[in-house]
Amino acid sequence: MANDYAQPDVLVSTGWLDEHRGDTANIRIVESDEDVLLYDTGHIPEAVKIDWVNDLNDTVVRDYIGPEQFAALCSRHGIGDDTTVVFYGDKNNWWACYALWVFKLYGHKDCRILDGGRAKWMAENRPMTTDVPTYPEANYTARPQDSSIRAFRDEVLEHIRNKQPLVDVRSPEEFSGERTHMVDYPQEAVLRGGHIPGAKSVPWAKACNEDATFKSRADLEALYQTEQGLSPNDDVVAYCRIGERSSHTWFVLTYLLGFDRVRNYDGSWTEWGNAVGLPIEKGA
């Protein structure tokens, strides 16, 4: 697939995946959706399901699963250290990017996104099945978290004191403080509305076309660099409400535009807007 993204290989096309999906010794396809049952209604024949609540989050502490649990998850799905993992999902690959970010957090080398995701695959009438494939258990090496792609609250506070850029990827209404959640997603209660001081508002889905594929590099440069004045050498922190929408923007800035240092603040607004004494800015 011809594209001029900073790391062009990180995206695979539906045609490429259809051709290579049988290579299950080297490639594992992972479906990650917002709806926990969507995979079960039909999925790419070779794909396994990784659910962000039930597989990637710790059930007690607000955090991701630890390195050992992550290694066990990969091993169970036949994912080895060198397996190419192709993620796809619903809603413009929103959850697919989130799963990819967690894989990168644990240092998985070869991670890719199916450009256009589940929507494009289905629109092209490519094969789907409800049969769940199983693969021989792999032996995955547990590695510590890569802290270079994850920002914590105190680091974000330091970041704004140093006047470094932040991208708020929530809706304009959440950014201004008019709402504390997305339209149609009344949930995760937050006590205060608004945004982290100095953050730029770029709703995450602006990076996608109507058919759920990513916008061209030129369009993405216009969106983040020309309009918002971000530069590829900036140290950027992206956040949303719980860190999932911002992992999509993290993916775009890191791999499609080649920014050097982008971190996802997964504590995001549900942490910031509930914490005592942190600075908040309101208005558009």
Partner 1 sequence: MTKLEEIGASFRSVDTDLRLQLLLDYANKLPAVPERLRAAEQDHRVHECMTPLFLWIEPAEEDRLRLYIDVAEEAPTIRGIAGVLVRALDNAPKRDFEALPDDLIATLGLQQVLRMNRAVGVAALVGRIRRAAA
Which residues of the shown chain bind partner 1 in the complex (CB under 8 A)? 35-38, 40-41, 53-54, 59, 90, 184-188
Stated length of the chain: 284
What number of helices (H) and strands (E) belong to the chain?
9, 9
In the complex, minimum distance from the CB of residue 212 to partner 1, in angstroms, rounded to a whole number: 13
Q: How far is Cα 117 from Cα 211, in angstroms, rounded to an integer?
A: 9
Nearer to partner 1, 5 or 135 (CB): 135
Which of residues 37 and 276 has its CB atom nearest to partner 1 in the complex? 37
Of residues 124 and 260, the one with the C-beta less far from partner 1: 124
Residue 53: CB minimum distance to partner 1, A: 6
Q: What helix, strand, coil percent values describe the chain, rounded to 5?
A: 35, 15, 50
CB 68 within 8 A of CB 140: no
Q: Which two tokens stand for residue 240?
A: 């949303």
Closest approach, Cβ 74 to partner 1, in A, equals: 19
Structure tokens given for 122: 């289905």
Give the integer Cα–Cα distance in Å for 15 and 28. 16
Q: Which is nearer to partner 1, 183 or 276 (CB)?
A: 183
> In sequence order, which residues have a C-beta less than 8 Å from that of residue 37 and are 6 or more positions away?
none
For partner 1, give the closer residue by CB, 51 or 256.
51
User: Hey, what's the torsion of the CAs at 259, 16, 14, 27, to 10 degrees?
Assistant: -80
Helix, strand, or coil (residue 188)? coil
Least spacing, CB of residue 142 vs partner 1, in Å: 25
240 catalytic? Reply is yes
Pair 83, 28: CB distance under 8 Å: yes
Q: Which of 74, 111, 208, 240 is catalytic?
A: 240
Residue written as tokens 């506070």? 157
- Distance in angstroms (rounded) separating the CA atoms of residues 70 and 77: 11
| Shortest Å distance, C-beta 41 to partner 1 | 5
Catalytic sites, residue numbers: 240
